[in-house]
Structure 1
């Protein structure tokens, strides 16, 4: 009886599945326990099916969704579409979908949907003179189905590179009501008619969405456009549609989060956007993330007036000034702050930290000068998580000063090294050992480690970048070394990223992490392990 109750109690099953999902354990095995597990697991698996979507998976995904479209929204299709879909269903001997899978979708990345529909069409029909028209119509009708039928859509990402974007909020899709987050991605420069198309879309969007909690505006850097006469900034479209962006953002009733990400190494001139946003949502904003922008000598006081702000991220920014700044005021609720790779002067950075004050619990920063460390220790003494990133801290970090942060639970030091040949395992070990010995002397390490022995505590992370060689140490597999006798864990893993031109960049990460344990680890033990393995 107890077993039966356990395996049929929805509350218990949901909690178990939530835990398994968070632990990144495959949920598919739990589809076969019984009908209760099947139904609840299905709702989880179909919430974000477009994440990390590969071509083989996209074919089956779109097939399932089109089967749902044919089964539940048959009247939306014209005769030709019904005929083509019926051909697909008959050819593959598909039965009606077991669930209304479209009801569980939580996020719609429109570019991923567009790509998946095209890949699906190529797989099912191959070359066909109706491809462009058919895929465009099916894409819009799938979007319409999601908007009308899903009970939990919260986020939509729209890439203006996809030509079909201007039609997605027409008719019944305009009734979508529970959307919380919208991401708009601006591609490199298009012609003037495309600018007008985006402007009209943004104007129309004001009538469709007025209760968003968070908005994202991103400059797409996947391609940089150049011609013989002029080199265009990737920010061209976002700059040309600034008035419409501001009007749309200001139309939101209770906006909590605002994100603006400009072009890397070419700052977006963003003062015209940011100031109106801060003014119109001064009472509601709790989250701000602004990367790769030039504030145009904007005064910091406008951020400080956002009294509800809990998280503020500024990365690779410039142009912020201390003008009109009251040194005696602080953020009342700021808990998380990122200040990395900014071109602010020392006074600006120090004042922001002082205004964050003792409410701050998370900080990411790359400036570790004595003055900044003193400011952190004196004014931000409740910090629990500290990440120090960049090239410049190595050999220049005052570890004894960090020991004055009595609430510190997690310290992460990120050291980036550019490597121009294939790193061998011995070289990797040498890099770790060299970094550790520069960061710590034995007495400092032992004292600092002892202070945080009850916490998960990352103390060194090294990342190698290389554009030429795929076979880094250990090949493509992940390697983990676990030393229970001294509570040390070493993780080595490889991944592949892409640069702005789309070329592969092979990235290797090495992380030394103290496990949560009461077992002592001494500096000499660490060096011995690095030497032996």
Structure 2
């Protein structure tokens, strides 16, 4: 039983007395419902408690059995993002449940249409809840996958291959209509594709009310030319919703669709975050439209995008910008980038990815970051870059080095880390890079101000030993994330924790596959030294 779940049981014990709570706890263990009243906290308080249990694998499912009040509060949480991380069997159960939520007319129409493919929907009993109304996050790709799995089971895992995509689109269209009509809480909609050559449902499906009217996040992620119905949806989206806060666009060729994206941007009253990735054509018009939302935009992230001077002029007008990312964008030069020097925003977070030949551009943008900058991610380090960071961005407390190896010039890291009084450091190197043996980073390079260290990269065991043996930083949080971690690495961390006595939190990616020796070592750290071991499902939040 999870620690959070135990806390809830203890909370009941303290709140309603031991007799009633003993009955509740007994019911939880034996799968029975309780007729004894449990604490009737306000719904808002209950939801806050349940949110802490939600990330765990089965915590909320157990809480369903306490009583009707708890069940009523938990069902909306369980069904807000139902498509995530499902097995084939659970995908089938999910689609089966949603089909049971259909109106009789829609159910009969779908059954009739599927008969032409010799598919018969099993008899479905009406569910206790109208589960479709609780949907908050919806990915079309996940729906396609779930429907695909369902048809496989219906057809005993044999498909009429010539009509597979037609069958999936038919069922997906019916369920999309259900979601548009019933989902009063739909906040996030992601258009991505599992079957790249099929289309999404027709636009008439998405104009149902309440439909997309409450969207706060919209994402489109395509690697192929957009389909006809996708283009029509983009053209109509400005008329269907106006309160999108996060707009995330990833598409290699916009062709004539940049007009639709620009229109979406200009009609969203509260647009706070804009992400654009992979656009080769039409990026200037899209980025130019950002000036229409210059008062609300706080976050702009651009990756593999062609940028012109007009684009930078638009960025410079966003006076409330706090988070800027320019990751391997094209068209950058000193002339067009210098426009940002006229900007009035005060950046808190900056992410820069450049080739070595663009170090002068990187240096100029770092000057834009200035004294307000607190977090920096960068993949380019040389003496000029280090000097600019120390001179222009002296208040940076958090650095992430991305795909950059500390080699023979590791003196630059000592100069940078100590010059900034750094508190948080993350080193990320893609697992495809195999020359870890050349990495030179010792504990002496880490400043005495460092409290958080995350290593998302590979180290030989000798490098790992040297790093922690020579480290004098009062680390409070250590997170290790790479594939070749073994028990020897765990022993090195244990020795550091035992000797330094500063570490409070430890996270290890891949704990589910750890040996019994490693698990025993972590339990010892928790018991003897009070170390909080970050659960696997929480690691991405640290």
TM-score by length of structure 2 reads 0.70
Match of 2:222 in 1: 186
Q: Does 1:258 align with 2:274?
A: yes
Aligned length: 447
* Structure with bigger RCO (C-alpha 8 Å, 6+ apart): 1
Contact persistence 1:337–1:364 (CA under 8 A): yes
- 434 and 16 in structure 1: CA distance in 2 versus 1, 3 angstrom threshold: same
Match of 1:211 in 2: 243
User: Within 1, Cα distance between the matches of 2:59 and 2:272?
Assistant: 33
Residue by residue over 1:382-407, the C-alpha shift from the partner in whole angstroms, topping out at 9 and shown as x without a partner, is 3332211213334424224322334x
Q: Does 1:113 align with 2:143?
A: yes
User: Within 2, Cα distance between the matches of 1:473 and 1:175?
Assistant: 47
Picking from 275, 288, 303, the partner of 2:300 is: 288
- 479 and 79 in structure 1: CA distance in 2 versus 1, 3 angstrom threshold: farther
Alpha-carbon RMSD across the aligned residues, in angstroms, is 4.1
Gaps of 5+ in 1: 220-234, 465-471, 497-511, 520-533
Match of 2:517 in 1: none
The alpha-carbon deviation at position 157 of structure 1 amounts to 1.0
Contact persistence 1:270–1:293 (CA under 8 A): no
Contact persistence 2:234–2:261 (CA under 8 A): yes
Residue by residue over 1:363-395, the C-alpha shift from the partner in whole angstroms, topping out at 9 and shown as x without a partner, is 211222233223323333333322112133344
User: Within 2, Cα distance between the matches of 1:214 and 1:185?
Assistant: 14
Match of 1:491 in 2: 508
Contact persistence 2:172–2:201 (CA under 8 A): no
Match of 1:242 in 2: 258
The alpha-carbon deviation at position 339 of structure 1 amounts to 1.0
Gaps of 5+ in 2: 1-13, 18-36, 438-456, 514-521, 530-542
Match of 2:427 in 1: 413
Contact persistence 1:250–1:280 (CA under 8 A): yes
Aligned residue runs from structure 1 range 122-271, under 5 A: 122-126=152-156, 135-159=168-192, 161=196, 162-167=198-203, 169-173=205-209, 175-189=211-225, 194=227, 198-219=230-251, 235-236=252-253, 238-262=254-278, 268-269=280-281, 271=283
Q: Give secondary structure in 1 for the equivalent of 2:83.
A: coil
Q: Does 1:39 align with 2:77?
A: no
Residue by residue over 1:316-340, the C-alpha shift from the partner in whole angstroms, topping out at 9 and shown as x without a partner, is 2232233263686555342222113
Contact persistence 1:67–1:89 (CA under 8 A): no
Picking from 321, 332, 350, the partner of 1:309 is: 321
Give 1 or 2: higher helix fraction: 2
Aligned residue runs from structure 1 range 444-463, under 5 A: 445-446=471-472, 449-450=473-474, 453=475, 455-457=476-478, 463=482
User: Within 2, Cα distance between the matches of 1:479 and 1:436?
Assistant: 10
Picking from 341, 356, 376, the partner of 2:389 is: 376
Match of 1:102 in 2: 132
Aligned residue runs from structure 1 range 390-401, under 5 A: 390-395=403-408, 396=410, 397-401=412-416
User: Within 2, Cα distance between the matches of 1:181 and 1:401?
Assistant: 38
- 29 and 307 in structure 1: CA distance in 2 versus 1, 3 angstrom threshold: same
Q: Give secondary structure in 2 for the equivalent of 1:295.
A: coil
User: Within 2, Cα distance between the matches of 1:358 and 1:24?
Assistant: 43
Aligned residue runs from structure 1 range 4-43, under 5 A: 7-9=39-41, 10-21=43-54, 26-43=59-76
Q: Give secondary structure in 1 for the equivalent of 2:243.
A: coil
Contact persistence 1:268–1:294 (CA under 8 A): yes
The alpha-carbon deviation at position 261 of structure 1 amounts to 1.3
The alpha-carbon deviation at position 430 of structure 1 amounts to 6.4
Aligned residue runs from structure 1 range 321-332, under 5 A: 321-323=333-335, 325=338, 329=342, 331-332=344-345
Match of 1:509 in 2: none
Q: Give secondary structure in 2 for the equivalent of 1:399.
A: helix
